[in-house]
Structure 1
Amino acid sequence: MITNPYLQLDELVSLIETLPNYRVFKKLVVPIKDYKNDSIFGRGKVEELTEIIKHDTNIDGVVIGLSSIDVAQYITLQKIWRKPLYDKYRIILQIFKHYAKTNESRLQIALAEIPYLKMKLRMNQQIVKMKEIDPTLDISSIFHENIYFNNDNRTSFHEKLEILNQREDKLKKSLEKIKQGRENRKMSNSSSLQNPYPIIAVIGYTNSGKTSLIKALAVNQTKLSPENRLFATLDVSLHQGILPYSEKVLYLDTIGFISDIPVSLISAFQVTLSDINRADILLHVRDASHPDTNFQNLTVMETLKSLGIKQELIDNMIEVHNKIDLLPKLTVHTKIENPKLKIFPTSITKSVGLSELLTGIHMLLLKRQNKSTIHLKIPIQLYSKIYSYLLKMNASIVKTEPTDDSQNYMLEIVIDQKTLSIFKINFDPRYIVV
C-alpha cells in the first residue's frame, strides 16, 4: 500500500516503538523472493541476515514487515535465527492489548487474537512432529515462546481447536450484545421528543491528528491527551462542541486506520467502528505533511468501504488537511480523488484554519439536515412563548434584539423545514420576515 519501501520501514519502526521497552537497533529493506516461500527471502539474503542476527547482541527478536507470516515460514526462520519472530499482525495485536482501556476494546482484541492462537496451535502440532522425528532436537533453544513442547495426550489438537472456536463464538456473542444495546439506545433516542445532537465522526490514518483536532474543537476537553504515537485511540468516545450560531454537536473520536492491516484485526473492531454509520458528517483528518498522504487516504477509503460505511457519508465527507505548518510555504497537497470533497487546510498545533473548518461543518450540516437561516419579527408580548417554543423544537437561536419602536423582537434562527412548517401552523406565518 505504501509506495516507498523506506516509508513502509519507517512506519513499521514507529509501530514497534509504540510498545514500551521495545526499541529497534537495526532496520533493513530486504527484497522478498516469494511471499509463499517458507524462508520468504532468497537463500543469500537469509544467510546475510543470519550473520547480522548472530553477531549483534542487542537483537532479541526479529520483526518482518508483512501483514502476517504462516506456520511454515515462522518455523523455518525461527529454526535458523533462534530468535522470537514477529509480523505486523502480532505487533499491532501487542499494541492493542497494551493500550486497551475499556471492556469492549478488550473483548474485540481477544477476538482479534483468536486467529493468532489458532496459528500457534498449528505451529505446536508441527513442532511435536519435529520432536517425534528427531528426539534429540532441543526445541526450547529454538522457540522462545510459551508453546507446548510435548505431546499433550489429554487434550488433542482438535479438542484445543474446538476450545478456541467456542471462545471465538462466546466473544462474538458478547460483542453482538453490545451492538444490540447500542441499537436499542439509538432507537430510544430517535423516538424521544428531544432530538440528539448531530454527530461528527472524526476518522483518519493513525497519528494524523484526530484526537488533537477534537480537543481543539470541543468544549471543556482538558482531559483529552493526544499522544504522538500510532494507535493512541482504541476506543470511540463522544465530545461536545459548538458550531457557529451556537449549534451543539458531538465529535466521535475513532480508532486510526493503517495500511496492510490484517483483515481479522479490522473485523474484530466492527462493533466499535460501526458507530461511524451513526454520524451526520464524516471528518477525515489527513497528515498533509506525510510524503505518502495520498496512499494513506486510499487506505482510509478502502477501510471505510470494507466496514460498510454508507456511501452517502463518504460522498459528503469533509477533508481536514492537517500539519500544513510542516509543509514548505504552507502549501498543501492538491491531488483530490473526489472533486465533491470539501477540503480545509489546517495546523492544529498552530490553530490555523479552525474557524474556517467550523463554518464548513456548520454549512454542510445545514445542507444535510435541510436547515436554513431565517428571521422572525415577533410582537413583544409573544416573545417569551415563541422563544421557549423554538428551543423546545431544537431550533438554534442565533441572535435576538428589540426593534427601534420596542414593540417587537427580531430573531435570527437556524431551523429545519419540517420544524418551520410546524411553526407556521402554530403561529402567524407573517412573523417570518422575507
Structure 2
Amino acid sequence: MIGEVSVEERALGEDRTRAVVVGPYLSRGPAALSRDPQARLAEAVGLAQAIDLDIVGELPVALNEVRPATYLGKGKVEEIAETVKAQEAGLVSMDCQLSPVQQRNLEKAWGAKVIDRTGLILEIFGQRARTKEGALQVELAHLAYQKSRLVRSWTHLERQRGGFGFLGGPGETQIETDRRLIEERMRRIEQDLDKVKRTRGLHRKTRREVPYPVVALVGYTNAGKSTLFNRLTKAEVLAQDMLFATLDPTLRQIRLPHGARVLLSDTVGFISDLPTMLVSAFRATLEEVTLADVILHVRDVSHEDSEAQARDVETILEELGLKGEAEGRIVEVWNKIDGLEPERLEAMRLAARGFDPRRRPALVSALTGEGLDDLLARIETLLAESRVTLALEISPEDGQGLAWLHAHAEVLSRETKEDGGSRLTVRVAPERLDEVRRRYSSALRT
C-alpha cells in the first residue's frame, strides 16, 4: 500500500498528503483510451480523494507512445517535476499501470512517492474492507502486487548472506527471502479463503433450503447501488458520493408487490482497468452474482461516460461467465434520472421504449424513489417466468403442511373452504416441484 502515507497523516485534515494526479492517456493505437479523457481523469481524482488525499494538481497528458523507462516523455517528466515541486506534493498518482522500473525512475525524477492505478485501488480496498473475507482478499491481492515490486523495494539489499533455517537457505538473497515469505503468506491466505468459501457455500446451501430467490445489484462504482439497496430494503448500508463506498457483499430480504420475498445482494462496484489480481481475488465475493436469479445492472445515466462504464461492467460480467445464458436475467437499471434535464429525461424514456420488452431498461431514481414500483414489478415478472404456479388444497387439520408451504413456496392466494380447509395458489422453484407434489397430491399446475 502507500508506504509513506500513514493513516494518522490522512486523518489530520489540513495535514493530508498533498498529491498531484496525472492522467497519461494514449491518443492513438489499439491501447488508446476508449472513453473521454477528462471523465477518466475526473475518475482518477475521485479515486485519490477516496483515500483522503489533498489534490493540488490534475494533469492530463496525451501520449503517442509509452516510454519503457518512465512511461512519459522526458519533457513531460520535467514539466511534472516542476509542478510537484511548486505544489510541495508528496505523492503523484499515475492513472495507468506502471512497471517497477518506471515507478522507481519517476520517484527519482520527482522526489515524491509515486503510485499507479493498481496500487491506488488496492489502498482503497485495504481501507474499506470490513469482513474477514474482504480483508483476506485485499491482502492477497496486495501481496501479489508487492511481490512483483520486490526488485524496486530491495535493490539496496541485493546481497548474499548465510541462511538461518527458517530465514532461508545458504546463499539466499534478501529478495529471494522476502519473495518466499510473501509466497508462504499468500498460501496461508488462500487456505483461509478456502475455509471462508466453504462457509459461504454452507450459508448459500441453507438459503437454498428457503425458496427465496436472490437479486444481485452490480454496476460501475458510484452508480448508486447502495442508495438503491437502502431504498428497497430500508437498510443503512454506507452510501456516499464516493468511489468504492461498498466493498463487502450485503444481503437483505425484501418483499415484492404480491408478497413474495427475495434476497437483495449489494456488491462491490466495478471499475475500468480493474487489476487482474483483484478480479481473481474477489471472485468468491462475486459468486453471489453468478448464482443470482435476477441481476440488476445499475447505471448512472447522468454521468457523461455512462456508456463506457456500462461496457466495462459487461466486460467483467463476461469474465465471470455471465454472458449468453445469463442475459435473460440481467435488467439494466438507468439510475439517477433525478439528475437529468427534462429534455434529456424524455429522450431517455423514448430510447427505453425502443427496446424489446424483455430487455427494456428500468428508469429509476434511487434517491427519490421514482420508478422503483415498476422495477419491483419487473423483478417479480422475471422470477415468475422460471417458477411453476400450482393450485392445491389442504385439510383443516394439516397446519404443519400449511406452515411448510409458507416456508418453502410463495403463497400467492389463500381461500378458506367451508370445512375449514384451505385452497391455495402457490409458486415454487422447478427443483421443488416434485417435493410439493409428493406432499400434496391435489397440486395441479394452473
**TM norm structure 2:** 0.79
Equivalent residue in structure 2 for 1:167, among 155, 179, 185: 185
CA RMSD of aligned residues (A): 3.2
Match of 2:59 in 1: 28
Equivalent residue in structure 2 for 1:397, among 398, 407, 411: 411
Match of 2:265 in 1: 252
Q: Residues 388 and 433 of structure 2 are in contact (CA less than 8 Å); yes or no, is this contact kept in structure 1?
A: no
Q: Deviations over 1:22-51 (max 9, x none)?
A: 121110111224334212222222222222
For the structure 1 residues 323 and 206, does the alpha-carbon distance in structure 2 shift closer, same or farther, using more than 3 Å as the test? same
Distance (Å, rounded) in 1 between the aligned partners of 2:106 and 2:360: 49
The secondary structure found in structure 2 opposite 1:25 is strand
Equivalent residue in structure 1 for 2:76, among 10, 24, 45: 45
Distance (Å, rounded) in 1 between the aligned partners of 2:185 and 2:196: 17
Match of 1:325 in 2: 338
AA aligned to 1:343 is P
Q: Deviations over 1:74-128 (max 9, x none)?
A: 1221111111111111111111111121111111111111233223311134456
Equivalent residue in structure 2 for 1:69, among 71, 91, 98: 98
Give 1:275 shift: 2.3
Q: In terms of mean alpha carbon deviation, does 316-325 or 194-203 score higher?
A: 194-203
Q: Deviations over 1:366-420 (max 9, x none)?
A: 112x233x666x699579687446325x3323344568x9998664543456766
Distance (Å, rounded) in 1 between the aligned partners of 2:152 and 2:400: 74
Q: Residues 56 and 87 of structure 2 are in contact (CA less than 8 Å); yes or no, is this contact kept in structure 1?
A: no
Equivalent residue in structure 1 for 2:325, among 304, 312, 336: 312
Match of 1:92 in 2: 121
Distance (Å, rounded) in 2 between the aligned partners of 1:84 and 1:159: 25
1:213 counterpart = 2:228: yes
The secondary structure found in structure 2 opposite 1:366 is helix
For the structure 1 residues 47 and 355, does the alpha-carbon distance in structure 2 shift closer, same or farther, using more than 3 Å as the test? same
Identity of matched residues, %: 30
Match of 1:366 in 2: 384
Match of 2:242 in 1: 229
Give 1:274 shift: 1.9
Match of 1:134 in 2: none
Q: Residues 209 and 287 of structure 1 are in contact (CA less than 8 Å); yes or no, is this contact kept in structure 2?
A: yes
The count of residues paired between Structure 1 and Structure 2 equals: 398
Distance (Å, rounded) in 2 between the aligned partners of 1:422 and 1:74: 62
AA aligned to 2:373 is S
For the structure 1 residues 381 and 95, does the alpha-carbon distance in structure 2 shift closer, same or farther, using more than 3 Å as the test? closer
AA aligned to 2:307 is N
Equivalent residue in structure 1 for 2:86, among 41, 48, 55: 55
The secondary structure found in structure 1 opposite 2:295 is strand
Match of 2:284 in 1: 271
Larger radius of gyration: 1
Q: Residues 316 and 341 of structure 1 are in contact (CA less than 8 Å); yes or no, is this contact kept in structure 2?
A: no
Distance (Å, rounded) in 2 between the aligned partners of 1:103 and 1:85: 29
Distance (Å, rounded) in 1 between the aligned partners of 2:99 and 2:382: 47
Give 1:350 shift: 1.2
Q: In terms of mean alpha carbon deviation, does 315-324 or 325-334 score higher?
A: 325-334
Give 1:70 shift: 0.8
1:243 counterpart = 2:256: yes
5+ residue gaps, structure 2, are 1-32, 160-170
The secondary structure found in structure 2 opposite 1:95 is helix
For the structure 1 residues 381 and 60, does the alpha-carbon distance in structure 2 shift closer, same or farther, using more than 3 Å as the test? closer
The secondary structure found in structure 2 opposite 1:30 is strand
Equivalent residue in structure 1 for 2:133, among 84, 101, 104: 104
Match of 2:6 in 1: none
Give 1:172 shift: 1.6
Q: Deviations over 1:313-363 (max 9, x none)?
A: 244201111001111212428489995534110001111010111111011
Equivalent residue in structure 2 for 1:202, among 217, 222, 227: 217
Match of 2:29 in 1: none
Distance (Å, rounded) in 2 between the aligned partners of 1:110 and 1:168: 8
Give 1:225 shift: 3.2
AA aligned to 2:83 is I
The secondary structure found in structure 2 opposite 1:267 is helix
Q: Residues 300 and 336 of structure 2 are in contact (CA less than 8 Å); yes or no, is this contact kept in structure 1?
A: yes
1:178 counterpart = 2:196: yes
For the structure 1 residues 277 and 7, does the alpha-carbon distance in structure 2 shift closer, same or farther, using more than 3 Å as the test? same
Match of 1:11 in 2: 43
Distance (Å, rounded) in 2 between the aligned partners of 1:300 and 1:390: 38
**TM norm structure 1:** 0.81
The secondary structure found in structure 2 opposite 1:298 is helix
For the structure 1 residues 32 and 384, does the alpha-carbon distance in structure 2 shift closer, same or farther, using more than 3 Å as the test? same
